[in-house]
Amino acid sequence: MSDDQRDRLLPFRLEGKFLGFITDGYGIPKYLQLEIETGNLSIKLAKQLRFKLGLSLQPNDWLEVVGEKKLKSKTGELRWKADRVNHLTASESNSVENKIKIVACYQSGCLKKGASRLLSNLERTLHEWGLSDRVVIQATGCLKRCSQAPNLLLKPGNVRVNGMTPEVIVVTLLDTMRTTAVLNQASSIE
């Protein structure tokens, strides 16, 4: 089996608002519904989490969800599975707002053209540069640049990125961070 025919597993870490559960036929939570900036996700819960979380989570709780996402190579479908779920305090949940965001297209066109590989390399590069605590990568729908896939958007600033290596993306990200810092300083002076 070639590399292109295998399902790809990638780690993920998301923060968002808990909306509720999707249960199995016996009323046991099987999926967690999470609202993130780019939309709502249904994330399958590892079996060891199902009973514990069913008793402790309330709608509107702010959560950190960590696990693996699987890209089905034949269908382009993305499946999420949580291995760990943590409650976040109000101060921790506000920290997401202060982070630079890399919004990544997770539609089949971008995924087939290497988005998942690019993002795993980008996550590693962010860690190597010491930026992983200041940057969050979020999945989104189509960014309407399919011919230039894979596509990313750097926020704030809405800087479109495509056809770059992870190192060049990080340099572009640093420029965006510097520009944002200068604009924030200028607006605080006025």
**pLDDT tens per residue across span 19-29:** 999 988 888 88
- The closest alpha carbon to 11, from 126, 110, 108, 90, belongs to 126
First to last CA, the chain: 61
CA-nearest of 136, 177, 184, 183 to 159 is: 177
Q: Is the separation of the CB atoms in 10 and 60 below 8 Å?
A: no
pLDDT bucket at 42, cuts 50 / 70 / 90: very high
Q: Strand pairing of 29-36 and 159-162?
A: unpaired
Hey, what domains does the chain have and what are their CATH numbers? 3-93 (2.40.50.140), 99-184 (3.40.30.10)
Strand-pair category, 78-87 with 39-45: parallel
Cα–Cα dist 163/12, whole Å: 22
What pLDDT is stored for residue 186 in this prediction? Answer: 44
pLDDT digit string (tens) for 128-181?
888 777 788 887 788 888 888 888 888 877 788 887 777 888 887 777 767 655
Show the DSSP H helices in 38-114 as ranges: 47-56, 90-94, 108-112
Count Cβ atoms below 10 Å from residue 167 Cβ, excluding itself: 13
Instruction: Report the alpha-carbon distance of residue 5 to residue 120 in Å, rounded.
Output: 18
Question: pTM for the complete prediction?
Answer: 0.50
Going by C-alpha positions, the residue among 79, 94, 102, 97 that lies closest to residue 153 is: 102
Q: Is 96 left (phi over 0), alpha (psi -120 to 50) or beta?
A: alpha
Phi, psi at residue 157, to the nearest 5°? Answer: 105, -20
